[in-house]
Amino acid sequence: MESTRSVWKNRGFTLIELLVVIAIIAVLIALLLPAVQQAREAARRAQCRNNLHQYGLALHNYHDTHQTLMPGVIWTGGSQWNIPRTSYLTFLLPFFDQSSIYNLMNFSSGGITWHGNNLAATNTATPVVMLCPSDGKGGSQWIVAWQAQRLHKTNYMAFMSGFQMSDIGTTNPRLKGAFGTNRGTNFSGVTDGLSNTMLFAEYLTGSRPNEVRGFAWGDQPGGAQLYVELGPNSKLPDRLYPCCDWGYLDNYPELNLPAIGANGFSNDTAGSRSRHTGGVHILLGDGGARFISENINIDTWRGLSTISGSEILGEF
């Protein structure tokens, strides 16, 4: 009897029992991992949406101060290739508590945000809400061949008027958005309603730091302009202009980064894109941030970009 008790007392796990335990643990991990990943993505989405809220506050504070939104881009030299060339994000610096950086900018001599002393100024900025935590593939800074310094990237860009670069200065109400060439918009002119008008949306920063997409201070589609020819997360390619060491342009449809080259002055366009499954976040004129399905009706999507098009919008 004593011998039997001793045998049971000293008995360990058999191989089969050990494998069963390992299998149970593996199943539990397999069940829990998606839930953990979903919780993390939900937190990243919330942070992304909050980032756009911060842009909304800055835009409304700018409007309260100046009684208009800032110009989408300043091109008073006759074309986008003549100086000055100043993009809208520069004007938001004081409304992100960075007036000291804004005051270093030289708008009268050249006015190109990414050259000379202006480049040194913007590079010292610390825009804390520029990046979506779900992206990160393109890095937080753009490394370019023609500058020793690195340039900020962003995941949040404004919609310019129309479908492509040639539309940016349009006065056609079916195309005219809140931002255009040498002009912004007073909220009283948004007759479609601020809650029915998109101002900003997400974009991706590319596949590597030396790719052009996501350039925060730029005045080109993808850096930092969006248009509505393409729907959100479109399978169709953005048309971007990577000339003159402007930056590499990768075509990776599998990474939601389809792209082809453009001519640099008329047919360039970039559609809103994100790393979130199923859609993108947008910022509406009333300051609200919403998640929009990538399956939204294209006419509704385009109608949301105009300020006085009087479109009958579907669900969004």
Tens digit of pLDDT for each residue in 8-31? 455 566 878 788 888 888 888 877
Whether the CB-CB separation of 301 and 311 falls below 8 Å is answered with: no
DSSP output for 125-181: ---TTS--TT--TT-SEE--TT-SS-EEB-SEEEEBSSSSGGGTT---TTT--SBBB
Please, which pLDDT band fits residue 83 given cuts at 50, 70 and 90? confident
Q: Using the predicted structure, report yes or no on whether residue 125 has a pLDDT greater than 90.
A: no
Of 14-23, 44-53, 113-122, 216-225, minimum mean pLDDT range: 113-122
Q: Using the predicted structure, report yes or no on whether residue 148 has a pLDDT greater than 70.
A: no
Q: Using the predicted structure, report yes or no on whether residue 126 has a pLDDT greater than 70.
A: no
Q: Provide mean pLDDT across the span 93-97.
A: 90
pLDDT at 109 (0 to 100): 61
Q: Which residues pair with 293 in a beta bridge?
A: 279
| Rounded-to-integer distance, Cα 259 and Cα 47, Å | 28
Q: Using the predicted structure, report yes or no on whether residue 2 has a pLDDT greater than 70.
A: no
Q: How far separated are the first and last CA of the chain, in Å rounded?
A: 77
What number of other Cβ atoms are within 10 A of residue 182's Cβ?
12
Q: Which residues pair with 220 in a beta bridge?
A: 223, 224
Share of the chain above pLDDT 70, in %: 88
Instruction: Give buried/exposed letters for 68-88 (b at 16+ CB in 10 A, else e).
Output: bbbbbbbbeeeebeeebbbbb
Q: Using the predicted structure, report yes or no on whether residue 193 has a pLDDT greater than 70.
A: yes
pLDDT at 80 (0 to 100): 76
Of 27-31, 195-199, 292-296, minimum mean pLDDT range: 27-31
pLDDT at 10 (0 to 100): 53
Q: Using the predicted structure, report yes or no on whether residue 6 has a pLDDT greater than 60.
A: no
Where are the chain's structural domains?
A: 2-303
Q: What is the pLDDT of residues 219-273, one digit of tens each?
A: 899 988 999 999 999 999 999 987 555 567 889 999 999 999 898 889 999 999 9
| Rounded-to-integer distance, Cα 41 and Cα 45, Å | 6
Q: Using the predicted structure, report yes or no on whether residue 115 has a pLDDT greater than 80.
A: no
pLDDT at 167 (0 to 100): 96
Whether the CB-CB separation of 278 and 208 falls below 8 Å is answered with: no
| Rounded-to-integer distance, Cα 292 and Cα 54, Å | 18
pLDDT at 118 (0 to 100): 78
Q: Using the predicted structure, report yes or no on whether residue 122 has a pLDDT greater than 50.
A: yes
Phi, psi of 182 (to 5 degrees): 60, 20
Encoded amino acid at 79, one letter: S
Of 10-19, 47-56, 74-83, 149-158, minimum mean pLDDT range: 10-19
Q: Using the predicted structure, report yes or no on whether residue 49 has a pLDDT greater than 80.
A: yes
Mean pLDDT across the chain: 87
pLDDT at 246 (0 to 100): 56
pLDDT at 8 (0 to 100): 46
Whether the CB-CB separation of 226 and 234 falls below 8 Å is answered with: no
Q: Please give the structure tokens belonging to residue 265.
A: 């002055």
| Rounded-to-integer distance, Cα 151 and Cα 132, Å | 17
**Shortest CA distance to 301 belongs to which of 211, 206, 230?**
230
DSSP output for 82-94: SS--EEHHHHHGG
